[in-house]
């Protein structure tokens, strides 16, 4: 495989990773927005429930159907909130899985959620190019200064 083929493959993999991370960010942001809205609705229903209970108590007329309706709406919102929080946890735990080398007849790669405990360790801190001494990000595969391969698959 020539240098251009390898470079093309690397660029394709970086593009796939960037697309995955962008979709993950969009998904987690959407879910967090839904969770915040559900919490706001729960707070509003609790305020309404409290006000109605207070008014009825002051009037000496606490009616269970009115309170039951509010409690049912609150229970539904809380159930939806729990489901969205679980979905958010799953979305946040997804990690990008490098696809296996493709063969001409193999299906397109799929992304599967990988628990954080199974994710490969992420390198931290800068690293130094062994050829020119350039300080680069820990995730660099090629030195940006001299082009020497310094890591990666």
Shared domain check, 24 and 90: yes
Shared domain check, 130 and 93: no
Shared domain check, 87 and 37: yes
Shared domain check, 140 and 76: no
Count CB atoms within 10 A of the CB of residue 95: 18
Q: DSSP code of 106?
A: S
Q: Is residue 139 part of a domain?
A: yes
> What whole-number distance in Å separates Cα of residue 153 and Cα of residue 139?
11
The token duo for 29 is 């942001």
Shared domain check, 94 and 19: yes
Query: Which among 130, 152, 125 has a CA at the least distance from the CA of 140?
Result: 152
Shared domain check, 62 and 130: no
Q: Is residue 53 part of a domain?
A: yes
Tell me, what's the pLDDT at 109? 57
Shared domain check, 127 and 77: no
Q: Which residues contact 105 (CB under 8 A, 6 or more apart)?
A: none
Shared domain check, 70 and 37: yes
Q: How many domains is the chain built from?
A: 2
Q: Is residue 107 part of a domain?
A: no
- 31 half-sphere exposure, CB direction, 13 A CA radius: 19
User: 142 by DSSP, 3-state: which?
Assistant: strand
Say if CB 123 and CB 134 are below 8 A apart. no
Q: Is residue 31 part of a domain?
A: yes
Tens place of pLDDT for every residue, the chain, 153 residues? 688 889 999 999 999 999 999 999 999 999 999 999 999 999 999 999 888 887 776 776 776 777 767 777 888 898 999 999 999 999 999 888 888 886 666 565 565 665 555 555 554 567 888 898 888 888 888 888 888 888 765
Query: Which among 70, 66, 45, 69 has a CA at the least distance from the CA of 57?
Result: 66
> What whole-number distance in Å separates Cα of residue 15 and Cα of residue 23?
12
Say if CB 82 and CB 12 are below 8 A apart. no
Q: Is residue 50 part of a domain?
A: yes
Q: Is residue 93 part of a domain?
A: yes
Range of the domain at 32: 13-99+113-120
Query: Which among 112, 90, 81, 96 has a CA at the least distance from the CA of 28?
Result: 90
Shared domain check, 79 and 35: yes
Shared domain check, 84 and 149: no
């Amino acid at each position: 495989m020539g240098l251009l083929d390898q470079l093309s493959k690397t660029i394709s993999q970086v593009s796939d990773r960037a697309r995955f991370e962008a979709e993950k960010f969009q998904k987690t942001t959407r879910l967090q927005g839904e969770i915040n809205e559900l919490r706001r609705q729960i707070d509003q229903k609790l305020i309404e429930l409290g006000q109605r209970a207070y008014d009825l108590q002051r009037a000496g007329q606490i009616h269970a159907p009115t309170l039951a309706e509010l409690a049912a709406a609150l229970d539904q919102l809380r159930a939806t909130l729990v489901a969205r929080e679980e979905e958010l946890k799953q979305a946040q735990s997804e990690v990008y899985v490098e696809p296996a080398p493709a063969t001409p007849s193999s299906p397109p790669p799929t992304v599967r959620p990988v628990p954080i405990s199974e994710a490969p360790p992420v390198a931290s801190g800068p690293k130094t190019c062994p050829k020119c001494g350039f300080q680069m990000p820990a995730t660099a595969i090629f030195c940006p200064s001299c082009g020497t391969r310094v890591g990666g698959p």
